[in-house]
Structure 1
Amino acid sequence: MASARIVDIRAFVLRGGGADYHDQSDGHWIDDNIATPMSRYPAYRKSRRSFGINALGTLVVEVEADDGTIGFAVTTGGEPAAYIVEKHLSRFVIGQKASDIELIWDQMYFATQYYGRKGLVVNAISGVDLALWDLLGRLRQEPVHAMIGGPVRDEIQFYATGARPDLAKEMGFIGGKMPLRYAPVEGNEGMNQAIADLAEMRERVGPDFWLMLDCWMALDLDYATRLAHAAAAHGLKWIEEAISPDDYWGYQSLKKAVPPGMLVTTGEHEATRWGFRMLLEMECCDIIQPDVGWCGGLTELLKISALADAHGKLVIPHGSSVYSYHFVVTRHNSPFAEFLMMAPKADEVVPMFSPQLQGEPVPQNGRIAASALDKPGFGVELDRSLDLARPYKP
């Protein structure tokens, strides 16, 4: 099986939830009056979909070995990423050994460096990389976590991201991360309302439950600093992605400026070991939050994690379902994980990447047993009844 070679790679596009979890219908909490960098424009203030957060859709990548075994992965990037996979990245995949993941990654990255480095191109690379790990696990009949060192704990514990941390507490999660609903454009009145919302939620969940704020790149340094100090009285555990991901200097200043004991977290929209090296060496944050489907895939996440470990920082991946679970369960510096509450009202636990993944494990009482991840590869299947479109072919 180690000598199996890859004979085909295919890129498909899907719409509606799943990996592109913002691609939801009206009434979903994830699209409802959340502060964003576009909040300064009235036409784009109410809904994130209004400025196109769901424009790309899901990218599905399949890789097929010469014995007919197929590995797959889902991420974001949609049709533009599918073009990159089919028309450029495929030459570095077809004909290679299924086990040559490091070689393939290196060639994909440096061949696209002149127009890539972050964003859409690295999303495409991530999708290919995850599909390769899934293929290798299926060929070897091993779960991915076994191929990267094996579990260091018997279960993964989760905090929940969603509009109702109080309900998340009842469901057994260790904490709740709320979206920030008021942007700087709404002035002091908006900040006061944000703090009132936090105070109300603290009253509901009690003193010991973690509460965090996801600011989704919406703030400037001054506003983020004032928000952090105002929130300290209500036991805010961390302030997340408060400013632009390109403003390393702003994060460096924010980390110094927040109240003692409050954590600064970021990295959801960062990519590759070089981007995270900036965050770590400049002391920008306490926790890095790479998304394995966006940062370069599992191959790159392992390098990012080693860097973080050397700097004494935690790695708590952004969402990404089974693709992060197999990583988290193997790392000492990833002691818990994020679960996105994808029920429209954040009032029940549903599979994060539904409807695209079949067999996706979900937390029970805020936890997933390591043994639930023991199927070959990433342990999930693609729902092939969905409208898979392959816009580009060789």
Structure 2
Amino acid sequence: MPLPLIRHVRAFVVRGGGADYHDQGEGHWIDDHIATPMSRYPEYRQSRQSFGINILGTLVVEIEAADGTIGFAVTTGGEPACFIVEKHLARFLEGRDPADYEKIWDQMYFSTQYYGRKGLVINAISGVDLALWDLLGKLRQEPVYKLLGGNVREELQFYATGARPDLAKEMGFIGGKLPLHHGPAEGLEGLHKNIAALTEMRSRVGDDFWLMLDCWMSLDLDYATRLAHRAWEEAGLKWIEEALSPDDYWGYAALKKNVPRGLLVTTGEHEATRWGFRMLMDMECCDIIQPDVGWCGGVTELIKIANYADSKGVMMVPHGSSVYSYHFVITRHNSPFAEFLMMHPGPSEVVPMFAPQLLGEPVPVNGRIRASALDKPGFGVELNPDIPLHRPYTH
């Protein structure tokens, strides 16, 4: 039977947590003196919100089929992304078959290429694509992971990103990724503090637990190299993540050559599309790529990125992104584990990653989620009806 055609596309802004997980209240670990590219300016060093990391808010995309079925997704992008979705991208969906996601993606990307290619525009395209896959799963009464070929393992296992890997170990996670707190502008004293925090955490978790560092694009090549060597020698660091600007492919290639043998270099959270990830892999910039499915182009593009990584023998561990990653990771042999963002302020509890926006979002139990927890149609979550939606544009 043919699927009902797409009738309407809508885009909304939501504030407070959820997909824009930096939009948190005071006292949250995610905004506590974390090193950033803006850390060179003392006035923007203490809080990431001080330089506007949370200004956009969450983008919610709804795609309604002619029979009334609604697929939806959340990502970042806020009001500017709403404009792109409503005024530009909607024309490539309405009246179309929802199964035509390849043609739809191609038209969205190449029609915006002259002002897009990365960043906000790809975030918007990603949100539309994820909503389209959610709709397709609901129309076919299948979870997205079944549409992608089915699960290759019976459960997902996770490492935790947050300020307390010691607590993450107690909760059953396989590793913990700490935010780096001090960047190059804070000099040798800051480097010593970074190493001291890491070695203190190593003493708490023992030698058999993974420890990683998330550097959030904040370092230069010299600092990253020195940090990597000391962190490896003094604290047994497993990987150093996103140490440099995402555009510095040459720096990443040099870093990968210069770190201690056995220490992994990872990046890709802020990379986009098959072409960006092809650069990372062909130039041998990293050991693990970390695309965010809500930012890199959606599921349709992630398939291409993952297939290229598989052909190159490169591991892919997607960045965060809740159910949108879970449904993909469980179908891939070269994605053996997943990331869980600890969104509790402490973080001393496991809470849903995109709360309060999603209902029915599965969370790890003892660091794991069973494949059966993903068996609802689409991505298996619903939009919280108590969240106020603002639709700034219509078409």
TM-score by length of 2: 0.99
RMSD, matched Cα: 0.5
**Contact 1:156–1:367, Cα closer than 8 Å, also in 2:** yes
Residues 1:79 and 2:79 are matched in the alignment: yes
Structure 1: runs of 5 or more not aligned: none
Aligned to 2:281: 280
Aligned to 1:236: 237
Measured in 1, the distance between the counterparts of 2:318 and 2:360 equals: 21
Corresponding residue SS for 1:9: strand
User: Which whole-Å CA distance do the structure 2 matches of 1:99 and 1:186 have between them?
Assistant: 52
State the match for 1:360 in structure 2: 361
**Residues of 2 paired with 1:57 and 1:312: CA distance?**
36
Could you tell me which amino acid in structure 1 is paired with residue 28 of structure 2?
A: H
Q: Superposition pairs for residues 232-381 of structure 1, below 5 Å? A: 232-233=232-233, 234-381=235-382
Partner of 2:119: 119
Q: Please give the per-residue CA displacement for 1:333-355, whole angstroms capped at 9, x wherever unaligned.
A: 00000000000011110000000
Cross-structure match for 1:181: 181
Q: What one-letter code is carried by the residue in structure 1 that aligns with 2:392?
A: P
Q: CA deviation at 1:42?
A: 1.1
Amino acid at match of 2:133: W
Question: Residue 190 of structure 2 corresponds to which residue in structure 1?
Answer: 190
> Could you tell me which amino acid in structure 2 is paired with residue 206 of structure 1?
G
* Contact kept? 1:157, 1:174, Cα under 8 Å: yes
Q: Once the 2 structures are TM-superposed, how far is the Cα of residue 150 of structure 1 from its aligned partner?
A: 0.2
Distance in 2 (CA, whole Å) between partners of 1:114 and 1:4 is 32
Contact 2:3-2:139 at 8 Å conserved across structures = no
Q: Is the 8 A contact 1:137 1:143 kept in 2?
A: yes
Of all paired residues, the percent bearing the same amino acid is 76
Report the residue type matching 2:159 in the other structure.
Answer: Y
Task: Report the Cα distance in structure 2 between the residues aligned to 1:250 and 1:4, rounded to whole angstroms.
Answer: 49
1:56-135 paired onto structure 2 within 5 Å = 56-135=56-135
CA offset digits 1:52-88 (Å, max 9, x no partner): 0000000000000000000000000000000000000
- Describe the superposition over 1:22-50 as per-residue Cα deviations: whole angstroms up to 9, x where unpaired: 00000000001000000011110000000
Letter in 2 for 1:180: L
Q: Retained in 1: the 8 A contact 2:36–2:215? A: yes
Distance in structure 1 (CA, Å) of the matches to 2:2 and 2:69: 13
What letter corresponds to residue 28 of structure 1 in structure 2? H
Q: Distance in 1 between matches of 2:3 and 2:169?
A: 48
Cα separation, 2, equivalents of 1:374 and 1:235: 38
Partner of 1:390: 391
* Partner Cα separation in structure 1 for residue 164 and residue 280 of structure 2: 30
SS in 1 for 2:40: coil
Structure 1 residue 2: deviation in Å?
Answer: 3.7
Question: 1:156 aligned to 2:156?
Answer: yes
Q: CA deviation at 1:385?
A: 1.3
* Partner Cα distance (1:140, 1:387) in 2: 29
Q: Is 1:36 matched with 2:62?
A: no
Q: How many residues align?
A: 394
**Counterpart of 1:47?**
47
Q: Which amino acid aligns with 2:140?
A: R
Deviation of the 1:188 alpha carbon: 0.7
Instruction: Provide the C-alpha distance between the structure 2 equivalents of 1:305 and 1:97, rounded to a whole number of angstroms.
Output: 25
Amino acid across the alignment from 1:347? S
- Distance (Å, rounded) in 2 between the aligned partners of 1:141 and 1:9: 21
Moved over 4 A (4+): none
How far 1:3 moved relative to its partner?
Answer: 2.8
* Residue pair 1:105, 1:129 contacting (<8 A) in 2 also: yes
Q: What's the CA shift string for 1:195-251, capped at 9, x where partnerless?
A: 011111000000010000000000000000000001012110000000000000000
Residues in 2 aligned to 1:356 and 1:392: alpha-carbon distance in whole angstroms: 21
Amino acid at match of 1:27: G
Query: Where do 5+ consecutive residues of structure 2 fail to align?
Result: none
8 Å contact kept, 1:2–1:99: no
Shift, 1:384, TM fit:
1.6
Equivalent AA in structure 1 for residue 328 of structure 2:
F
What letter is aligned with 1:362? V
Give the drift of 1:20.
0.1
In structure 2, C-alpha distance between the alignment counterparts of 1:226 and 1:209, rounded to whole Å = 23
1:226 alignment partner in structure 2: 226
TM-score (norm 1): 1.00
3-state DSSP class of the match of 1:38?
helix
Secondary structure of 1:333 counterpart: coil
Equivalent residue, structure 1, for 2:27: 27
Q: Which amino acid in the other structure matches residue 323 of structure 1?
A: Y
CA distance in 2, matches of 1:170, 1:9: 44
Inter-partner Cα distance in structure 2 for 1:298 and 1:82: 20
* 8 A contact 1:229–1:258 mirrored in 2: yes
Measured in 1, the distance between the counterparts of 2:232 and 2:28 equals 29
Separation in structure 2 between the aligned mates of residue 46 and residue 93 of structure 1, nearest angstrom: 43
Aligned partner letter, 1:121 = V
Q: Distance in 1 between matches of 2:385 and 2:279?
A: 40
